Amino acid sequence: MPWSEEPLVMVWVFAFGAIVGSFLNVVIYRLPRDISIWHRPPSSCPKCGTPIRWYDNLPVVSWLVLRGRCRSCRSPISIRYPLVELVSGALTLLAFMRWGPSITGVEIVIFTWISLALGLIDLDFQILPNRLTYPSILLGLGFSWFGGYTWWLDSLVGALVGALLPTLVIVIYRLWRGIDGMGWGDVKYLAAIGSVVGLRGCVGVLVVGATLGAIVGLGLIANGKGSGKTALPFGTFLALAVILWLYAPASWLAWSPL
Residue 188 has pLDDT above 70, yes or no: yes
**Confidence (pLDDT) at 2:** 60
Question: What does the longest C-alpha to C-alpha distance in the chain come to?
Answer: 60
Q: Which is it for the CA torsion 221, 224, 229, 235, positive or negative?
A: negative
- Rounded CA-CA distance 117/107 in Å is 16
- The model's confidence at residue 11, banded by pLDDT at 50, 70 and 90, is very high
Mean pLDDT, residues 193-205 taken together: 95
How large a percentage of the chain has pLDDT more than 90? Answer: 57
- DSSP character at residue 70: -
In 3D space, the residue among 140, 96, 93 whose CA is nearest the CA of residue 114 turns out to be 140
- Judge whether residue 199 has pLDDT over 90: yes
Least confident of 32-41, 137-146, 188-197: 32-41
Tell me the sheet residues that pair with 69. 76
Judging by beta carbons within 10 Å of its beta carbon (0-12, 13-18, 19+), is residue 199 exposed, middle or buried? buried
Predicted local confidence at residue 133, as pLDDT: 97
- Cα 21 from Cα 16, distance rounded (Å): 9
Q: What is the mean pLDDT of residues 183-191?
A: 92
